[in-house]
Amino acid sequence: MQDVTSPSPEKRTPKWRRFAIYFFAAVGLLLSVLLGVAAFSKKAPPVLSFNENEIVGKVMARNYGKYSESERGWLYVDEATKLTYLVTVVQQRKVDGKEGEELYFVTSGRTINAPAENDSFYGVFLVSLSNGQLMEFGDARRPSGADPVTPERVLFEALSADVWGWVVKTRDLENSDGSVLTATSNVVLAPYDNGIAVLAEFYGAFNIVGAGSCEETERLHASWRQAQDQPKGAPAEGEVTAMSPEEQADDNIEPPRCTKLQWTYRTDPPADASFTPLYITRKAGMRNGTAVASKTWKVMFDPKSHTYLLPKELKDVAA
């Protein structure tokens, strides 16, 4: 006969213990939800700000002098030349930095009441917050020749996720030996090491012509070359030459060939602390009377020198 033992009845957990378990579980869940909501809805600390127009006025007065209501700008007097320049703000941008607002602005100055002394300069400034204090970094006087910098010739660029800068276009004009040279330069500047650094300078345009257009310049050069190739016999005895020695010397001076070159550039959208490359493209054009094809260079930033490493072709453009 098999002995079968009946199982003992299961002991049930007292009701008060079950209630306590459910209660603490509910409280824990509620606390988790509240902490999650608090973390999600927690607002970022407010961005420290300042009155940009007030700051600009103080920086301008400190670097250039008093504001003139009649001239609608600041009057700067050069101590060496005694020339007076009218200085205005041609671009002003405010961005949010790591510690608060950052104000970037560009100035342009030109001589006034001195027609014989046509000169200009530009300045670049950054005002930012550091440890709750306003800091000013700037380069108040950079030469821009006889052609003052205007608003449309200033570009505000994000060079990296942390660095903003400017590309300022300056223009030069030279007349010599029957030729006219006009050039536009792109100057890349950005704040660096408690100041403003020039990261790169490359041409935007480089043109050389003689009289009139490029076609006329080439036509005159071809005529000169043809005349030079013709044999010049010595004048007969007693014959007087039509040209003086000075005129003959001038006739031997080679007229210019046409050079007409243009460049454009672009940057990559900033993704991190690395500086964007510069993609510089030369359009198809003419150099010394010879056609040149379009070409693009990818110019990288060198952290050691803190500059863009321009190839020789972008420096010696007339060669």
Which amino acid type is present at position 6? S
pLDDT of residue 5: 44
pLDDT in tens, 211-227: 788 999 889 988 888 88
Q: How far apart are CA 30 and CA 32, in angstroms?
A: 5
pLDDT on residue 98: 82
Helices (H) and strands (E) in the chain, counts: 4, 17
The phi, psi pair for 4, rounded to 5°, reads: -110, 120
Give which of 170, 180, 175, 177 is closest to 146, Cα–Cα: 170
- Domain limits of the chain? 46-146, 150-227+253-319
The low-confidence residues of the chain, meaning pLDDT below 50, are 1-9, 37, 40-42, 44, 249
pTM to 2 decimals? Answer: 0.79
166-181: pLDDT as tens digits: 999 999 998 877 789 9
Q: Are strands 164-176 and 179-192 parallel, antiparallel or unpaired?
A: antiparallel
Rounded CA separation 34/29 (Å): 9
Report pLDDT for 46: 52
> Which of 293, 292, 282 minimizes the C-alpha distance to 315?
282
Predicted confidence at residue 181, as pLDDT, reads 92
| Residue 166: per-residue pLDDT | 98
β-strands 133-143, 154-158: how paired? unpaired
Compute the distance between CA of residue 279 and CA of residue 186 in angstroms, rounded to an integer: 13
